[in-house]
């Protein structure tokens, strides 16, 4: 029997997962439209809680002011990297001349980035509520409480890293870490959601061997994470190329990426094959409206949309909408695979 306080936790946890995916979609839109520096300062935007809509509303000498602020923040970040032994990386940030180049004001880009930040703040509030509601499990499932608190710490670090993304003028490797931390936040939320849902249920028992499915599904989850990492490297290359073309001539961007795109495409084939095998193994073991079977079907639909958006990026002049969808559905694919793994993990083979 699930208590009201537990139902409230499960509900707010699910909402947090959905909004986190929306933040990733918003981040994809920011990247695809080149709006990452739409707000040159953080956490405010042009020194305001509600950003300006015209150049006449900008503060005096805003370009010089925000460049100076970025340089100061980057020096602190460089010292932080040096304390971790990353001396060469710290030095590269200090010598990065792009940091001293001021951004021109663009209302559309400013508000695109601002909405992205608002959604990020909403995720922070939802995670805080999730942690508060998690205390309903302080006697029955302490790991839910611990993980919910850890997720607040992770999102706090993610927010700080977001300020570094701005101060370093969108340094590519930091953007990649920013994306991977989003997966960590999602992973923890999905785990606590599933654990809470299954807490009062007996583990499933089926007639077929489940160990191979567990192992291969775990491999598939790792494969998707690897594909996301390689995909972020492709996006980093595209960012550099797009800037060099002043965000024009989209049809030639993909031809300039190099071998990393070939790796990404070849790895996509392996992702397709592995997910097809997982689906076959699931339908062989589950039937009807079993949660693993329904999740596996959602995985196939997500994978199809992911492939179509990837095809559009590669062969239809890199449309911005396809770029945002590609980022969203790669994350959704990971989320569904991880959720399916958690469902299957609790399943055992019937023994006479």
Q: Which of 340, 338, 336, 332 shows the shortest CA–CA distance to 20?
A: 332
Per-residue confidence (pLDDT) for residue 180, from 0 to 100? 85
Average pLDDT value over all residues in the chain: 84
Per-residue confidence (pLDDT) for residue 167, from 0 to 100? 60
Tell me: do 282 and 173 sit in the same domain. Answer: no
**pLDDT tens digits for 289-315?**
788 899 999 999 999 999 999 888 877
Instruction: Give dist(CA 190, CA 130) in Å, integer.
Output: 12
Per-residue confidence (pLDDT) for residue 104, from 0 to 100? 76
Q: Which residue has the higher pLDDT, 106 or 102?
A: 106
Among 164, 182, 201, give the residue marking a domain's end. 201
CA angle 329, 335, 338 (to 5 degrees): 140
Q: Which residue has the higher pLDDT, 127 or 100?
A: 127
Q: Report, as an integer, the average pLDDT of 340-349.
A: 85
Residue 170 has pLDDT above 60, yes or no: no
Q: How confident is the model at residue 162 (pLDDT cuts 50, 70, 90)?
A: confident
Residue-range definition of the domain harbouring residue 322 = 203-352
Among 180, 201, 222, give the residue marking a domain's end. 201
Which residue matches tokens 């606590």?
A: 192
Tell me: do 131 and 235 sit in the same domain. Answer: no
Tell me: do 248 and 298 sit in the same domain. Answer: yes
The mean-pLDDT minimum among 215-224, 278-287, 341-350 falls in: 341-350
Tell me: do 279 and 217 sit in the same domain. Answer: yes
Q: Report, as an integer, the average pLDDT of 111-122.
A: 89
Q: Report, as an integer, the average pLDDT of 261-270.
A: 88
Tell me: do 228 and 340 sit in the same domain. Answer: yes
**pLDDT tens digits for 12-46?**
999 999 999 999 888 888 877 777 777 777 777 88
Q: Between the ranges 49-58, 89-98, 142-151, where is the mean pLDDT highest?
A: 142-151
Tell me: do 67 and 197 sit in the same domain. Answer: yes
Instruction: Give dist(CA 128, CA 262) in Å, integer.
Output: 41
Per-residue confidence (pLDDT) for residue 148, from 0 to 100? 96
Burial class (CB in 10 A: 0-12, 13-18, 19+), 261: buried
Among 201, 232, 247, give the residue marking a domain's end. 201
Q: Between the ranges 21-30, 252-261, 336-345, where is the mean pLDDT highest?
A: 336-345
Residue 65 has pLDDT above 80, yes or no: no
Tell me: do 194 and 211 sit in the same domain. Answer: no
Per-residue confidence (pLDDT) for residue 131, from 0 to 100? 95
Per-residue confidence (pLDDT) for residue 165, from 0 to 100? 67
Tell me: do 76 and 223 sit in the same domain. Answer: no
Residue 31 CA to its chain's centroid (Å): 13
Per-residue confidence (pLDDT) for residue 166, from 0 to 100? 61
Q: Report, as an integer, the average pLDDT of 187-191.
A: 96
Q: Which residue has the higher pLDDT, 115 or 78?
A: 115
Q: Which residues make Cβ contacts (< 8 Å) with residue 69, sequence separation at least 6? A: 41, 167
Tell me: do 230 and 178 sit in the same domain. Answer: no
Per-residue confidence (pLDDT) for residue 351, from 0 to 100? 67
Tell me: do 41 and 171 sit in the same domain. Answer: yes
pTM: 0.85
Q: Domain total for the chain?
A: 2
Per-residue confidence (pLDDT) for residue 77, from 0 to 100? 77
Q: Which residue has the higher pLDDT, 222 or 321?
A: 222
Tell me: do 181 and 211 sit in the same domain. Answer: no
Per-residue confidence (pLDDT) for residue 137, from 0 to 100? 93
Tell me: do 161 and 240 sit in the same domain. Answer: no
Q: Report, as an integer, the average pLDDT of 204-215.
A: 78
Per-residue confidence (pLDDT) for residue 192, from 0 to 100? 96
Q: Which residue has the higher pLDDT, 15 or 239?
A: 15
Q: How confident is the model at residue 2 (pLDDT cuts 50, 70, 90)?
A: confident
Q: How confident is the model at residue 168 (pLDDT cuts 50, 70, 90)?
A: low
């Amino acid at each position: 029997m699930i208590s009201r306080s537990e139902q409230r936790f499960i509900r707010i946890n699910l909402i947090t997962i959905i909004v986190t995916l929306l933040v990733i979609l918003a981040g994809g839109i920011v990247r695809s439209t080149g709006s990452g520096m739409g707000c040159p300062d953080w956490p405010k935007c042009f020194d305001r809680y509600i950003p300006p809509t015209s150049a006449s509303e900008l503060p005096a000498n805003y370009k010089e002011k925000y460049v100076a602020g970025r340089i100061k923040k980057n020096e602190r970040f460089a010292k932080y990297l040096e304390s971790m032994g990353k001396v060469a990386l710290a030095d590269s940030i200090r010598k990065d001349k792009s940091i001293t180049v001021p951004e021109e004001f663009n209302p559309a880009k400013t508000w695109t980035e601002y909405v992205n930040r608002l959604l990020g703040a909403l995720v922070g509030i939802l995670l805080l509520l999730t942690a508060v509601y998690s205390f309903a499990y302080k006697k029955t499932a302490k790991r839910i409480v611990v993980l919910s608190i850890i997720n607040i710490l992770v999102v706090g670090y993610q927010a700080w890293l977001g300020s570094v993304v701005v101060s370093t003028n969108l340094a590519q490797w930091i953007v990649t870490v920013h994306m991977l931390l989003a997966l960590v936040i999602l992973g923890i939320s999905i785990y606590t959601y599933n654990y809470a849902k299954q807490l009062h249920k007996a583990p499933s028992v089926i007639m077929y061997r489940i160990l191979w499915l567990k192992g291969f599904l775990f491999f598939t989850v790792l494969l998707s994470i690897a594909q996301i990492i390689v995909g972020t490297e492709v996006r980093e290359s595209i960012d550099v190329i797009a800037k060099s073309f002043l965000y024009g001539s989209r049809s030639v961007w993909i031809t300039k990426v190099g071998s990393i795109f070939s790796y990404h495409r070849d790895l996509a084939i392996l992702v397709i094959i592995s997910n097809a095998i997982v689906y076959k193994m699931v339908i062989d073991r589950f039937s009807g409206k079993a949660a693993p079977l329904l999740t596996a079907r959602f995985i196939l639909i997500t994978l199809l949309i992911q492939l179509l958006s990837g095809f559009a990026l590669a062969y239809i002049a890199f449309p911005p909408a396809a770029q945002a969808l590609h980022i969203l559905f790669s994350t959704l694919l990971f989320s569904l695979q991880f959720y399916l793994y958690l469902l299957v993990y609790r399943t055992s083979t019937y023994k006479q």
